[in-house]
Structure 1
């Protein structure tokens, strides 16, 4: 069964939002940094794996970032605040849209 929570890391002034699968692995992850809550990541492990297999991992990571690569059981020093699926989805959709838009803007400026 999946569950959702968020944790704050003061050192980075970042809120991390997680969807954890039944085995304790991060399935989806959002990172919001600073007072403006700027989305710096909105990644899916399944998408990351597909991008890796397709040879497009650099593009995926530049757009969406990555997920934590250790299971929840190995984490230390975080205080989880439970979320509902609906709360996580609202953050996820907003962060994904912002990361896509940022990626399009970076591509336009680079062209």
Structure 2
């Protein structure tokens, strides 16, 4: 069973949106930074694992970032706000689109 929630981390000025599996491992993660909620990550654990196997992990992380590497129950002092799937998917799709556009712009500019 999957669960969705978000958490605001004041020290980073960032909203984190998470999809977690039944064991508390993050399967998808979105990071929105600053007052404008700029998407800076939209990472998928399955995609990250496939990229690692394929030897393309650096490109994957450069484009989409990385998901948390410890289960939710090991986190310290982060207030979690529950979401429904539809809320998470809306944020996920917008963040993925923004990350892909940034990657295309980097590629077009030769960066």
TM-score category of the 2 structures, normalised to the smaller one: over 0.9
Mapping of residues 1-12 of structure 1, within 5 Å: 1-12=1-12
Distance 1:43 1:20 in 2: 12
Q: Does 1:93 align with 2:93?
A: yes
C-alpha deviation, 1:78, in angstroms: 0.3
Mapping of residues 52-63 of structure 1, within 5 Å: 52-63=52-63
C-alpha deviation, 1:110, in angstroms: 1.2
C-alpha deviation, 1:83, in angstroms: 0.4
Matched pairs, number = 111
Runs of 4+ in 1 over 6 A off after TM superposition: none
Question: TM-score by structure 1 length?
Answer: 0.98
Question: TM-score by structure 2 length?
Answer: 0.98
Distance 1:107 1:37 in 2: 24
Paired residue for 1:44? Answer: 44
5+ residue gaps in structure 2? none
Paired residue for 1:18? Answer: 18
